[in-house]
Chains A and B, each alone.
Chain A
Amino acid sequence: MGIERREFLKTLAVASGSLAGVSSLKASNKTELNPDRFGVLSDLTYCIGCRKCEWACNEANELPNQSLDSFSDTSVFENMRRPTSEKYTVVNSFANKGLDGGALNVKVQCMHCEHPPCVSACIVSALRKHPDGPVTYNASACIGCRYCIIACPFQIPTYEYEKALTPQVRKCTLCLERTIENGQLPACVEICPTEAIVFGRRKDLLELAHERIRKHPDKYIDHVYGEYEVGGTSWMYLSNQPFNEIGFPELDDKSPAELTESIQHGIFKGFSGPIMLFGLLGIIMKVMKKEEENE
């Protein structure tokens, strides 16, 4: 409880800080990014759609799981899937124009945006951008407003509607505990048999991606998805087929984070009423949640 209270106080401090001025709210949501921050490059031409990454992710994040063998079932490809609160990552399948009768598989998970709209939508800073890349979630700070779910341009975060008492927002963590805290690879990257997904420094990955395009111009389309989309993402993709044909949204280079921020801040500007109401509402929800938890 002690820690939670501290978190709570911190949030409060941020909220009340915002009363004093808009700029401090803005500053609190911006993370100074480490130039050596991490990311993942997913080369779709190497992905074989084995879904081992799904299994490993479930295993590492203690999500409901089945036997490794059962993941060779490809009937799931009949429908497009999105990550759920019980599955941080899913693999979808599209017809591969470069491989007769073959498939082009796309692993979907949180993109760990460089300027994450979910983070700027979160009024209690439960979601944060870690300087080393991952977008992290702090369940004890979350008030369950689900703004992040609406803000995400990739429809990633999901809410545990099925849990009545302690519902959380769930999404890929970029295996923060394994990677940044313990020097391991993300579970999905570690298991991938063809190393279609590679973990490394974002700038090295970009260099690698462009090097592959340069060397094999017939194989790849000249586009690294995530290099610029929404201001850049940590998880990036290489493909032999245009991204809009394989389920990727066509997005602006500008982060919508700036947009949401300016709208929010525009509303709040010189008008402290709503923000006080908001703050109060937040406090009430928080207290209620604590009580529920303590019950």
Chain B
Amino acid sequence: MKKLYLLLAAFLFSTTLINGQLVEPNHPKDYTMGNPQMNDYCRTCHICENPTKFNPCLEQCARHGAQFSSTHSFEAGPDIVIIDKLSKLYKPVIFSHELHASMSEMSGGCTLCHHYSEDSGEIPACDKCHKIKPDLVDLNKPSLKGSYHRQCLGCHREWSHENACQFCHEEIGSSDEVVSTYDKTDIVGVPHPLISAEEKYIYQTTYQKAPVVTFHHTDHVDLFGLKCTDCHKGDNCARCHDTAKQEEPKIESMTTCCSCHNENNCDFCHSNQEKPSFNHGVSTGFTLGHYHEDVDCNNCHRSVSNFVTPSTNCTDCHIHWDVGTFDHSIVGLTLNEYHEEEDCEWCHIDRDFRVEPTCDECHDDMSYPEDLPGIRE
């Protein structure tokens, strides 16, 4: 084995020399060369205690996770992949890539399977490293057949406790008609079906002063724009699909809720009775009108974790609004020809649009809303 390492080292050394310089590895940004502490992260690639530039003692094909050149959504990948490189005893597998990719968003993401990428970020085909013939030298690297099966069965065994080959592929030339255990037309190319959740969950907690916690699930998803994985961290297929386990999946509520609700105010969640769902007007005093209703929270409040209370004065956000660029009729009042050319501040004192407009800058005998500068729609 020593010989092998030497050979490997020599090989790595020669290839790097050919390239003219040592290959700059994909070290993380906060990596500092010369850091004497080898940590677990280092050990995913380096197998000796003191790796150097000239003898990095690299693990072959470490599972460091693929480094995608640009992050992309699961839809960007192929819909279906037909795995037919090996088909000695069984027919090719029709692998629903998109379905799996979408499910993988629940845990691990693409790198769950695409565990290695080139420096360029390109994902090599599985058979670039995992050869059809087993490697008798690097025994740790499974051949293509072993890799596929370990990868698939690793999860499938966890939730379905299935190992029947026919779940994925049919036997070639089987005398008896093999009945596939799943309907391919139903699942192939269809992303993970929407997970249905209750609109709200009411919990009875052990906090005696105010035991009731109302969790408005729909609000968090639709209104606050949280992704499933923001709370359901590290879930895997088995968590929901385990055919043997009866238990409901539970979330560590204190750590999960408090990672956003860090206001240190128990009453925010706890109460003695059910709390109504979120109402912007009630909670903040700023009622969302027709136009603001559909705007993402993030547009005004930045990110959920970095929440800011924005100014409620219109032109602080809509900075380009002025005479000529603002269509006044969108507020339900179309200005008449005497008013449409006037400066905003004639009616909206100091351009503060939150307070009632006044008429007395020009008209002694008129007042809003009895008198209008146009037609109310």
List chain A positions with a Cβ less than 8 A from chain B: 41, 46, 48-50, 67-69, 72, 99-103, 185, 191-195, 198-200, 203-205, 207-208, 211-212
Whether the Cβ atoms of B140 and A211 lie closer than 8 Å is yes
Whether the Cβ atoms of A204 and B139 lie closer than 8 Å is yes
- Please name the residue on chain B nearest to A46 by beta carbon: B150
A100-B245, A200-B139, A204-B1 are known contacts; what are 18 more A-B pairs with Cβ within 8 Å?
A48-B163, A69-B178, A72-B163, A72-B165, A99-B158, A100-B242, A101-B244, A102-B157, A102-B161, A103-B161, A185-B134, A193-B146, A194-B142, A194-B153, A198-B139, A199-B136, A200-B136, A207-B1
Whether the Cβ atoms of A193 and B1 lie closer than 8 Å is no
B171: interface (CB < 8 Å): yes
CB < 8 Å neighbour of A208 from B139, B150, B158, B238: B139
- Please name the residue on chain B nearest to A190 by beta carbon: B134
Cβ contacts A to B, 16 pairs, < 8 Å: A50-B163, A69-B171, A69-B178, A100-B238, A103-B161, A185-B134, A191-B89, A193-B149, A194-B142, A194-B150, A195-B149, A198-B134, A198-B139, A200-B136, A200-B139, A208-B139
For B161, what are the chain A residues with a Cβ–Cβ distance below 8 Å? 101-103
Whether the Cβ atoms of B153 and A48 lie closer than 8 Å is yes
Q: In the bound complex, how far is the Cα of B329 from the Cα of A252, in angstroms?
A: 93
B145: interface (CB < 8 Å): yes
Most-contacted residue by chain B among A48, A49, A185, A205 (CB, 10 A): A48
Q: In the bound complex, how far is the Cα of B136 from the Cα of A205, in angstroms?
A: 11
B305: interface (CB < 8 Å): no
For A49, what are the chain B residues with a Cβ–Cβ distance below 8 Å? 163
B47 to chain A, nearest CB (A): 8
**What's the interface size class on B, roughly?**
20 to 34
Inter-chain contact count A-B, CB under 8 Å?
71
For B32, what are the chain A residues with a Cβ–Cβ distance below 8 Å? none
B164: interface (CB < 8 Å): yes
B174: interface (CB < 8 Å): yes
B234 to chain A, nearest CB (A): 15
For B153, what are the chain A residues with a Cβ–Cβ distance below 8 Å? 48, 193-194
B177 to chain A, nearest CB (A): 11
For B139, what are the chain A residues with a Cβ–Cβ distance below 8 Å? 41, 198, 200, 204-205, 208
List chain B positions with a Cβ less than 8 A from chain A: 1, 89, 134, 136, 139-140, 142-143, 145-146, 149-150, 153, 157-158, 161, 163-166, 171, 174-176, 178, 238, 242-245
B contact patch SS: loop
Q: In the bound complex, how far is the Cα of B163 from the Cα of A102, in angstroms?
A: 11
Whether the Cβ atoms of B245 and A99 lie closer than 8 Å is no
Most-contacted residue by chain B among A101, A191, A193 (CB, 10 A): A193
For A200, what are the chain B residues with a Cβ–Cβ distance below 8 Å? 136, 139
CB < 8 Å neighbour of A101 from B143, B166, B245: B245
Most-contacted residue by chain B among A50, A101, A103 (CB, 10 A): A101
For A193, what are the chain B residues with a Cβ–Cβ distance below 8 Å? 145-146, 149, 153, 165
For B166, what are the chain A residues with a Cβ–Cβ distance below 8 Å? 72
Interchain residue pairs A-B with the least CB separation, the first 9: A101-B244, A195-B146, A48-B163, A193-B149, A194-B149, A195-B142, A200-B139, A208-B139, A194-B150
Known: A102-B157, A102-B161. A195 touches B171 (CB 8 A): no
B301 to chain A, nearest CB (A): 41
CB < 8 Å neighbour of B134 from A69, A195, A212: A195
B161 to chain A, nearest CB (A): 6
Whether the Cβ atoms of A195 and B143 lie closer than 8 Å is yes
B132 to chain A, nearest CB (A): 12
- Please name the residue on chain B nearest to A67 by beta carbon: B175
- Please name the residue on chain A nearest to B172 by beta carbon: A68
A196 to chain B, nearest CB (A): 8
For B243, what are the chain A residues with a Cβ–Cβ distance below 8 Å? 101
- Please name the residue on chain B nearest to A72 by beta carbon: B164
For A211, what are the chain B residues with a Cβ–Cβ distance below 8 Å? 140
For A199, what are the chain B residues with a Cβ–Cβ distance below 8 Å? 136
Whether the Cβ atoms of A48 and B157 lie closer than 8 Å is yes
Whether the Cβ atoms of B1 and A194 lie closer than 8 Å is no
For B145, what are the chain A residues with a Cβ–Cβ distance below 8 Å? 193, 195
Q: In the bound complex, how far is the Cα of B243 from the Cα of A50, in angstroms?
A: 19
Q: In the bound complex, how far is the Cα of B134 from the Cα of A41, in angstroms?
A: 14
Q: In the bound complex, how far is the Cα of B161 from the Cα of A48, in angstroms?
A: 9
Q: In the bound complex, how far is the Cα of B164 from the Cα of A68, in angstroms?
A: 12
- Please name the residue on chain B nearest to A183 by beta carbon: B136
B355 to chain A, nearest CB (A): 63
Known: A48-B153, A194-B149, A194-B150. A100 touches B244 (CB 8 A): yes
For B174, what are the chain A residues with a Cβ–Cβ distance below 8 Å? 67, 69
For A212, what are the chain B residues with a Cβ–Cβ distance below 8 Å? 140
For B149, what are the chain A residues with a Cβ–Cβ distance below 8 Å? 48, 193-195
Whether the Cβ atoms of A208 and B140 lie closer than 8 Å is yes
For B244, what are the chain A residues with a Cβ–Cβ distance below 8 Å? 100-102
Whether the Cβ atoms of A101 and B146 lie closer than 8 Å is no
For B136, what are the chain A residues with a Cβ–Cβ distance below 8 Å? 199-200
Q: In the bound complex, how far is the Cα of B243 from the Cα of A72, in angstroms?
A: 19
- Please name the residue on chain B nearest to A41 by beta carbon: B139
For B178, what are the chain A residues with a Cβ–Cβ distance below 8 Å? 69
